[in-house]
Structure 1
Amino acid sequence: MATNIGMMDSAYFVGRNEILTWINDRLHLNLSRVEEAASGAVQCQMLDMTFPGVVPMHKVNFDAKNEYEMIQNYKVLQDVFNKLKITKPLEISRLVKGRPLDNLEFLQWLKRFCDSINGGIMNENYNPVERRSRGGKERSVKGSNKMPKSLQTNNNHPPPNSSSVGLTKASGPKPAKAAEVQALSKELTDLKLSTDLLEKERDFYFSKLRDVELLCQTPELEDLPIVVAVKKILYATDANESALEDAQEYLNQSLGVEAEGNGELEEEEEEKTQAEAVTNNNTE
């Protein structure tokens, strides 16, 4: 069971659209952004589909909006990780912030992990909508099209009193609200631009790492100590520890052996020179 996947694994080159399609097709959702899965509920249900009966779905809150509610979902997910002996660390404090890159990387890992269990084949006997339902009441999931019962009631039975009708006719954003909406729209646009720049920068550095990896795989170079040291860093799977120290230790040991060998050659040359000098003196 592959639980730790290195950052150079092909899993981390899967795009957002493919991840969203994977989630929406399997769970019958309509997510448009990866950060909509920041609550942890989607991740719990993906593991519920992959390992039926392991996830206590009645504890998963699909309506989670606040961080403390999301954290409860991730606690459920952590318990499932422990049951399945999954050693990947859950960086909950980062995931609940809803940052696109953090959530994308986690979902990329999740897809790679689930595909390694079932070969990417969808469980046709799994009913995701039914599994999200408890006690006859289906919980709403962001991206679903189900209308809350309270809204259905209001639509089917509009209030008859004149004051309510007057409020309906006067509906519309007030000037202060309109300014707030405009400010939020501008902030959203700025955030999208920032996200696009971050993704371009990420792709740039990933391409650099990929070039380094291909160079390290050259048959004439792959056994050189410096290349082996670089590959130790590239293929490190522990996200909490740096592989630099291990690579440096290996490199120092390799260079130390070479230095010792060079020292022996120098000593042999020096002894040979001294022997020749003694021979010449005796001859004279």
Structure 2
Amino acid sequence: MATNIGMMDSAYFVGRNELLTWINNRLQLNLSRVEEAASGAVQCQMMDMTYPGVVPMHKVNFDAKTEYDFIQNYKVLQDVFNKLKIEKHIEVNKLVKGRPLDNLEFLQWMKRYCESVNGGIMNENYNPVERRSKGGKERISRGGSLKISKSLQANNMHNAGSGDTVGHNKASGPRHGKTYAAAGRTNSSEEIQALSKEITDLKLSVDLLEKERDFYFAKLRDIEILCQTPEFENLPMSLAVKKILYAADAKESALAEAQEYLSQCLNGADNEAEEE
């Protein structure tokens, strides 16, 4: 069972329609485009179908809408890969963007891998709808318990406050307490939404900065390779450029030194020409 499937493998010649049909039939979904799997939830369930019980389905969010939620799903998938010792790098930054080609290639790899397990014999008793609903129910149950716990805690605080208050209208205590609690929940919800948006915005900014960094690094690397080419590496211009590339002090530009070096080379060449 190979985890390193080369790009020339037959897996990557599976068309979109065939791939989507396979996924929809196996997982009882209704995907019409490969980009709809960008959240990572489909891939998690493909692994759950292949290795029943290995994927914590209650952590998989099939209703994910933001990149932050997508990333959480891919973290679950990566944990599963690590647990199963699957050496496959997940290009999360590309997949969450919903680009068709990136998602197509990853789904093609997933299909090929899943089919290679157990000689291609899939678990016919696997119920994908039930597995998804169980995960959803567990998430709802956990969320409900949390809300109930918070509600009980709030009521206890209100009751304690009304009992300790002397000379005040007892009827007004709980009513005001509920108002404050509701306001607190609203503010908390708004803060969570604001923080989630801020996290998403920051991640997008980081992605853009990383792309810009990689772009300019690639340019510099191309220049370095060109300057190291045997027929060019000893030319004055190549040597001057390498002085800038390899400058150790980041605070001081090596441009002046490179320009001075070029000037000396040119003056030396002119003097030799005059002597001849």
RCO higher in 1 or 2 (8 Å CA, sep ≥ 6)?
Answer: 1
| Greater helix proportion | 2
TM-score by length of 1: 0.47
